[in-house]
Amino acid sequence: MSFTRRQMLGGLAGLAVVGLGAGGTARYWLGRRDDDAGHDYELIAAPLDVELVAGHQTPAWAFGGSAPGTELRVRQGEWLRVRFINHLPVETTIHWHGIRLPLEMDGVPYVSQLPVKPGEYFDYRFRVPDAGSYWYHPHVSSSEELGRGLVGPLIVEEREPTGFAHEVTLNLKNWHVDEEGAFLPFSIPREAARNGTLGRLSTINGVPKPTIDLPAGQIVRVRLLNVDNTATYRLNFRGDAQMRLYALDGNPIEPRPLGKDYWMGPGMRVCLAVKMPAAGEEIAVRDGPVRLGTLRAVATADAPGDWPAPLPPNPVAEPDLANAEKLNFNFEWVGQVSEDIGEKPPSLWQINGVAWDITDKTCADRPIARMQLGKSYILEFKNMTQYQHPIHLHGMSFKVIASNRRKIIPYFTDTFLLGKNERAQVALVADNPGVWMFHCHVIDHMETGLMAAIEVS
Ligand SMILES: [Cu+2]
C-alpha cells in the first residue's frame, strides 16, 4: 500500500487567515476560487486544560481549542479542506464519521494513511456528497484520544435552505474523570468484556447539565450527536414541547414523533425539530431518567414558524434487493479477560470467528469479506452476545431493512445499534472502492477485537 506523504510543518507562514472565534485555534481561510467552491480550515489538535469539575482542571486534548472540538461546517456537494496540524504529544489521524469519501481521506492508520506524528500536518480534502450531522475523531489509540476530548461535529448543510430558521448542535459525552477532574482509565478489561468502560461525568458540549437558551415559540433544528466512547443514551425529553424526528445519523426520514426513549449508541446522531414552549418554560434533555441538560425558552420578537418540509434525500444508491448477494456477519463474545494485559489489549470479541488485533498493522491485509464494485449486498448481522453493539461501516452508507426484534421503517445510516441477540439485515451498493473498516463503535469493544475490514474492488 502506498500513502500520501505526511508533511513536516514549516510552510504555513504567509497564508491569509481570518480568525474564527475568540482565542480559537481553528481558522477559516477565505479567497478561494469559485470553480472549486469549498470550505477551508486549519485545525490544530493540542493539549488543553478544561474545567469540567468546578475548581479543577482536566488535562484534555482538543481540536481547535475546545473539547468537543470546533464545529466544522460545509455545504453539500462542495469541498471540505482541512489542514490538520498535530500539536499533541502522540501520533493521530482524523476519521470523518459517516462521510462517503475516498479511502485516502478516511483517517485509518496503515490502511488509508500513515499516522500524523507530533509536529506534522496532513491535508484532508474531499467533496462531501451528503447533507446531515456527522462528526470527526482520531482512529489511533481511540480509547484515550477520544476519551480525552478529540471529538467534534461536522455539519453538512443542505444545498438549498431547509426552512429551519434556528438550529443548535448538542454533543453528548461522558468524561472518564473523578471528583477532582483527574482522568480515570478509559478502558478496563472487565468492563470492555461487558458494556464497555463508561465515563462518569455526563456533559453536553463539554458542560455538565448546561442550560441552553432557545427562542420561545420557534421551531429549532436540534442536532444531537453521541460522541461518547461507550454510552448508549436512552434519549427522551420532559416538558411542554412538540417535536419531530427529521433525520437519523445524517440521513433524512419522513418526519415522525420521537417515540419513547430513542436508543442512541456511540457514533449515532439524530436531527429533531423542536417547537420551543412559551418564554420561561424549560425542556429537560434526558438519558432515561437522568437529566443531561435543559433547553430554556427565551422571549423573541420573531413570528412563530411552521414545521419545515421533510429534508431532501441524500444521493445514496438504492440497493437491488432482488439480485443482492447475502453475506453473514456473526458478532461473538470471546471473553478471555486477563487483568495482566501488558502491552497488548485482551482479545474479547470477534466477527465470524476472527478478532481484530489493534496492535497488528497488517490486519487490513486480511479482509473479512470482499465485495465487487457496483454490486448490491445484503448483510445479515447476528449478535450472539448479551451486549448491544453500534455497528459502523466506513466509506459507504447502508439501508437498514429488517430485524427480528423490532419493526423497521427502512432508512439509510452509517451506524446501526444491534441489540442483544438481535438479527438484522442491512443492504448496500458496494460503490466505493477501498478497504473499509467495519466495527463496533463502543471504543473498547473495537480495541479488543470487534473490528474487521471489508474490501470493495
Ligand atoms: Cu460493541
| Residue 310 domain flag | no
Å from CA of 390 to ligand 1 middle: 6
DSSP state of 304: P
Q: Assess if residue 307 is contained within a domain.
A: no
Q: Which of 157, 185, 200 is the last residue of a domain?
A: 157
Residues 25, 145 share a domain: yes
Distance CA 30, CA 170 (A): 27
Q: For residues 104 and 136, state if they share a domain.
A: yes
How much is the pLDDT for 17?
Answer: 34
CA of 70 to the centre of ligand 1 (A): 27
Domain boundary among 112, 134, 157: 157
Same domain, 21 and 113: yes
Residue 282 lies in a domain: yes
CATH number at residue 51: 2.60.40.420
Vertex 202 angle, CA 198 and 203, to 5°: 135
Residues 12 and 126 in one domain: yes
451-456 vs 369-371, strand pairing mode: parallel
What is the reported pTM? Answer: 0.92
Please give the helix or strand (H or E) that residue 190 lies within, else none.
helix 189-192
Residue 286 Cα to ligand 1 midpoint, Å, equals 23
Distance 388 CA to ligand 1 centre (A): 6
- Tell how far the Cα of 439 is from the centroid of ligand 1, in angstroms: 8
C-alpha triplet 372, 373, 376: angle, nearest 5°: 75
Which residues have C-beta within 8 Å of that of residue 385, sequence separation ≥ 6?
A: 331, 332, 333, 349, 420, 421
pLDDT in tens, the chain (457 residues): 455 444 444 333 333 333 333 334 444 444 444 557 789 999 999 999 999 999 999 999 999 999 999 999 999 999 999 999 999 999 999 999 999 999 999 999 999 999 999 999 999 999 999 999 999 999 999 999 999 999 999 999 999 999 999 999 999 999 999 999 999 999 999 999 999 999 999 999 999 999 999 999 999 999 999 999 999 999 999 998 899 999 999 999 999 998 889 999 999 999 999 999 999 999 999 999 999 999 999 999 888 889 999 999 999 999 999 999 999 999 999 866 555 556 677 889 999 998 888 888 888 899 999 999 999 999 999 999 999 999 999 999 999 999 999 999 999 999 999 999 999 999 999 999 999 999 999 999 999 999 999 999 9
- 130 and 209 part of one domain: no
Do the domain assignments include residue 99? yes
Coil, strand or helix at 191:
helix
Peptide bond into 367 cis (omega under 30): no
DSSP code of residue 113: B
What is the whole-number distance in angstroms between the Cα of residue 190 and the centre of ligand 1?
A: 14
Question: Do strands 219-226 and 434-440 pair parallel, antiparallel, or not at all (unpaired)?
Answer: unpaired
- DSSP, collapsed to helix, strand or coil, labels residue 425 as strand
What is the C-alpha separation between 363 and 420, in angstroms, rounded? 27
Q: Are residues 399 and 277 in the same domain?
A: no
Evaluate whether residue 308 is within a structural domain. no
Question: Distance between CA atoms of 232 and 97, rounded to whole angstroms?
Answer: 17
The pLDDT of residue 364: 87
Residue 314 lies in a domain: no
CA 153 centroid distance within chain: 8
Query: What is the distance in A from the centroid of ligand 1 to the CA of 114?
Result: 26
Distance between Cα 61 and ligand 1 center (Å): 24
Structural domain that includes position 260 = 166-298
C-alpha 363/C-alpha 269 separation (Å) is: 29
Q: Answer whether 411's CB lies under 8 Å from 405's CB.
A: no
Same domain, 11 and 147: yes
- Model pLDDT, residue 305: 83
My answer on whether 184 and 138 are in the same domain is no
Distance 119 CA to ligand 1 centre (A): 33
311 vs 154: CA distance, rounded Å: 18
- DSSP tag of 184: P
Residues 11 and 148 grouped into a single domain: yes
Report if residue 287 sits inside a domain.
yes
205 plus 66 within the same structural domain = no
Residue 198 resides in a domain: yes
Sign of the torsion formed by the C-alpha atoms of 378, 361, 357 and 226: negative
Is residue 363 classed as helix, strand or coil in its secondary structure?
helix
Assess whether 397 and 277 both reside in one domain: no
Place of cell 480515570: 184
Q: How far is the CA of 41 from the centre of ligand 1 (A)?
A: 33
Confidence at residue 358, expressed as pLDDT on a 0 to 100 scale:
85
- Predicted local confidence at residue 244, as pLDDT: 97
Domain end marker among 114, 139, 157: 157
Distance 242 CA to ligand 1 centre (A): 33
In the chain, the largest separation of any two C-alpha atoms, in whole Å, equals 63
Residue spans of beta strands (DSSP E) within 95-159: 95-97, 120-127, 132-137, 152-157
Residue 341 has which C-alpha cell? 494485559
CA of 381 to the centre of ligand 1 (A): 13
307, exposed or middle or buried, with CB in 10 Å at 0-12, 13-18, 19+?
middle
- What's the domain count of the chain? 3
- CA separation for the pair 250, 397 (Å, rounded): 10
Q: How far is the CA of 412 from the centre of ligand 1 (A)?
A: 20
Answer yes or no: do 290 and 213 share one domain.
yes
3 state SS of 296: strand
